[in-house]
């Protein structure tokens, strides 16, 4: 009876249920998790083997550094590894000077170590360079405790210098593996957008609680991943400006679409199969385009128009003409008939870099039979 009361009051039963749900969510397979785990495992094993073969000390520390620098995409991992090498080398040089200045006074050395470690940990939580700041704090902590562990200055200097290959080996292997078998930021960007449109398509095709929860989970992730992918694509110049602008427009489009669909009850979607069928065809075109990697090719400089790049052209690298027709996207009230029949504007070269005015806020507007839901779900115009 006590256990039943505890469960009803939110006791151990609810607690264990919440923990079980959390574990299922965290351990559920996600895109790229298996590949990332395999890459980190291979890097750790290779690092330990190289350190043992060359008798480099601190093999465990070298393997541990891989977890700091490993990122989801190849560009971020390679840049993080190279930056970590430079930061550790500079930190070792600074640590030698600080150790020489504070070796005769343990209290000053302890206060200096506390200040430097606090600064490194603080920067790791307040700046994007978290792994670099953590590594900096770790180097200072190890360096300033060396005089108490090793009583000879020559041995202290040798211990500091051995830290350089301890960092070079794992970071060099990390850079090499990501250059050979890493995941491209451009591909990850396309895959993220494809998953967004797929979630919207699944909800329209079979409205249900599971599909709605999957869509909400994507919304809760936010745009942090896509922001890092965009930044890396721009840094490495992996796509042209027109292609990157096209993907950015698709990202904004997907966000508005998911937000509008999340506000709709599933009953409203299930009650309008014809309305959903139109959008399923358009979403399927975008999903196939992102899967194949076909993006618009920039028009030649000075060109004012290009037939293959026109938003009304249905080619392998551009969405279909239907995505530009507001009548095909918005609900079917008679008040929008005139707007849907107006002729499209002449295409320009800049039009190729943005997706059609397709699945914009109107793309996710509910059926006209649900005027209240439509007003609640229509997102603001960009």
Residues 220 and 284 placed together within one structural domain of the fold: yes
User: Computed from CA positions of residues 361, 362, 363, 366, in that sequence, does the dihedral angle turn out positive or negative?
Assistant: positive
Residue 170 shares a structural domain with residue 263? no
**Same domain for 256 and 203:** yes
Residues 217 and 168 in one domain: no
Three-state SS string over 338-360 comes to: HHHHCCCCCCCHHHHHCCCCCCC
Total domains present in the chain: 2
225 in any annotated domain: yes
Write out pLDDT tens, residues 168-210: 999 999 999 998 888 889 898 999 999 999 989 888 888 888 8
Instruction: Decide which of 159, 181, 203 is a domain's last residue.
Output: 181
Q: In this structure, is residue 342 part of a structural domain?
A: no
Structure tokens at 49: 């083997």
Taking the C-alpha atoms of residue 232 and residue 76, their distance in angstroms, rounded to an integer, is: 7
Inside any domain, residue 314: no
Residues 374 and 272 in one domain: yes
Instruction: Among 181, 204, 233, give the residue marking a domain's end.
Output: 181
Contact at 8 Å (CB) between 373 and 366? yes
Please indicate, yes or no, whether residues 199 and 165 belong to a single structural domain of this protein: no
In 10 A of CB 11, how many CB atoms?
Answer: 14
Do 60 and 177 lie in a common domain?
A: yes
Question: How many residues are there in the chain?
Answer: 382
- pLDDT for position 310: 28
In this predicted structure, the answer to whether residue 94 has a pLDDT above a threshold of 50 is: yes
The residue among 181, 197, 229 that closes a domain is 181
Q: Answer whether residue 133 shows pLDDT above 60.
A: yes
Domain range for 155: 35-181
- Domain membership of residue 263 (yes or no) is yes
If you ran DSSP here, which 8-state letter would residue 311 be given?
Answer: T
- Picking from 26, 233, 61, the residue whose alpha carbon sits closest to that of residue 138 is 61
**Alpha carbon distance 239, 245 (integer Å):** 10
- Establish if 21 belongs to a structural domain: no
Q: Are residues 63 and 122 in the same domain?
A: yes
Query: What mean pLDDT is reported for the chain?
Result: 73
Asked if 204 contacts 283 with a C-beta cutoff of 8 angstroms, the reply is: yes
Examine the domain organization and report whether 149 and 131 are in the same domain: yes
- For residues 224 and 359, state if they share a domain: yes
Give pTM, 2 decimals. Answer: 0.65
Q: What is the pLDDT of residue 4?
A: 44
Please state the rounded mean pLDDT for residues 103-108: 83
Enter the tokens of residue 257. 């679409």
Q: Does the structure show a pLDDT above 50 at 138?
A: yes
Answer yes or no: do 242 and 271 share one domain. Answer: yes
Residues 77 and 221 in one domain: no
């Amino acid at each position: 009876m006590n256990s039943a009361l505890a469960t009803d009051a939110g006791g151990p039963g609810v607690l264990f249920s919440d923990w079980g749900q959390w574990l299922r969510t965290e351990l559920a397979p996600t895109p790229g998790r298996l590949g990332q785990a395999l890459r980190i495992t291979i890097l750790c094993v290779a690092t330990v083997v190289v350190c043992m073969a060359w008798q480099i000390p601190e093999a465990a520390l070298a393997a541990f550094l891989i977890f700091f620098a490993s990122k989801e995409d190849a560009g971020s991992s390679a840049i993080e590894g190279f930056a970590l090498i430079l930061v550790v080398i500079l930190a070792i040089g600074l640590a030698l000077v600080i150790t020489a200045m504070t070796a005769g006074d343990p209290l000053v050395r302890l206060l200096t170590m506390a200040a430097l470690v606090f600064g490194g940990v603080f920067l790791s939580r307040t700046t994007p360079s978290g792994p670099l700041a953590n590594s900096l704090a770790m180097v200072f902590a190890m360096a300033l405790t060396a005089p108490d562990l090793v009583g000879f200055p020559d041995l202290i200097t040798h211990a500091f210098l051995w830290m350089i290959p301890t960092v070079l080996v794992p970071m060099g292997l990390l850079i090499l593996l990501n250059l050979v078998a890493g995941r491209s930021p451009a591909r990850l960007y396309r895959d993220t957008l494809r998953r967004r449109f797929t979630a919207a398509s699944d909800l329209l095709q079979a409205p249900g609680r599971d599909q709605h929860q999957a869509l909400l989970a994507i919304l809760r992730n936010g745009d942090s991943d896509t922001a890092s992918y965009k930044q890396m694509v721009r840094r490495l110049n992996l796509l042209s400006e027109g292609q990157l602008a096209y993907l950015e427009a698709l990202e904004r489009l997907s966000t508005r679409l998911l937000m509008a669909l999340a506000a709709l009850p599933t009953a409203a979607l299930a009650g309008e199969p014809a309305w959903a069928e139109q959008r399923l065809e358009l979403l399927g075109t975008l999903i196939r385009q992102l899967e194949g990697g076909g993006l618009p090719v920039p028009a030649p400089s000075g060109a004012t128009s290009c037939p293959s790049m026109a938003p009304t052209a249905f080619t392998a690298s551009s969405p279909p003409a239907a995505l530009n027709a507001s009548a095909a996207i918005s609900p079917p009230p008679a008040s929008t008939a005139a707007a849907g029949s107006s002729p499209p504007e002449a295409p320009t070269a800049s039009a190729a870099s943005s997706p059609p005015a397709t699945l914009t806020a109107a793309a996710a507007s509910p059926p006209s039979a649900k005027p209240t839901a439509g007003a609640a779900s229509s997102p603001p115009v960009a």
